[in-house]
A and B are shown apart, each in its own frame.
Chain A
Amino acid sequence: RKEVEQDPGPFNVPEGATVAFNCTYSNSASQSFFWYRQDCRKEPKLLMSVYSSGNEDGRFTAQLNRASQYISLLIRDSKLSDSATYLCVVPDSGAGSYQLTFGKGTKLSVIP
């Protein structure tokens, strides 16, 4: 059974802090991974993709450890606008399948 497990949160951090979220997955055949961001009562939006060992985009860094089957998301210099729920997402690996399994999400609150 495909599973995606995330840190339960919530994470309450001050502005400027560095925060990291972890996510473990059970489908060892998955080749690519995603972090989505979901604001309160809004739709999820793609934040980052991870296809190899890692990916960096400004203050955000996503890392992949295939041997241990976990993905992490690091946010540096947190802003108030980073407050949201971060969803770890793992694709199915079946032939012709384009379905995604979403984790329950980790809620981040950045405090002034």
Chain B
Amino acid sequence: EADIYQTPRYLVIGTGKKITLECSQTMGHDKMYWYQQDPGMELHLIHYSYGVNSTEKGDLSSESTVSRIRTEHFPLTLESARPSHTSQYLCASGQGYGYTFGSGTRLTVV
């Protein structure tokens, strides 16, 4: 039933590995976002895109990068994972301010 999909749901990976978190939406939304959220803490915007070939960094400094080659796809990449990257990563999309969030990827870097 979800119209925005994130994979994997959980990821445990070793330090130094390159990882890509996938996010896809079937709603045709131009605007897509990546948020980072630690347990019990607020969401922090790390990347956003207002359309194909458009990406911007958010308020929270992040070592990750994103790409937007297709409207429906907004993957996030960490070139070299570190324990400090352990967190939940939430992808969202929307046309205006009514965001729809994916289920998130819970990343643990050991």
A-B CB pair tally, cutoff 8 Å: 43
- Interface residue ranges of B20-43 to A (CB < 8 Å): 31, 33, 35, 41-43
Let me know if B74 is at the binding interface, CB within 8 A: no
| Across-interface contacts of A103 in B (CB, < 8 A) | 42
Within the assembled complex, what's the spacing in Å between the Cα atoms of A32 and B99?
14
Let me know if A14 is at the binding interface, CB within 8 A: no
Shortest beta-carbon distance from B82 to chain A in Å: 23
Whether B101 lies near A98 (C-beta < 8 A) is no
- Interface residue ranges of A1-56 to B (CB < 8 Å): 32, 34, 42-46, 49
Within the assembled complex, what's the spacing in Å between the Cα atoms of A105 and B100?
18
Known: A98-B31, A98-B50, A103-B42. A34 touches B103 (CB 8 A): no
Shortest beta-carbon distance from B75 to chain A in Å: 18
Whether A45 lies near B101 (C-beta < 8 A) is yes
Total chain B interface residues with beta-carbon distance under 8 A: 21
Binary interface encoding of chain B residues 27-70 relative to chain A, with 1 for a CB under 8 A from any of its CBs, else 0: 00001010100000111010010100000001000000000000
Spell out B's residues near A (CB within 8 Å).
31, 33, 35, 41-43, 45, 48, 50, 58, 90, 94, 96-104
| Interface contacts beyond A44-B99, A98-B50, A98-B97: sample of 18 additional A-B pairs, CB < 8 Å, sorted by A | A32-B97, A34-B98, A42-B103, A43-B101, A43-B102, A43-B104, A44-B90, A45-B101, A46-B98, A46-B99, A87-B42, A96-B50, A99-B33, A100-B45, A100-B97, A102-B43, A104-B42, A105-B42
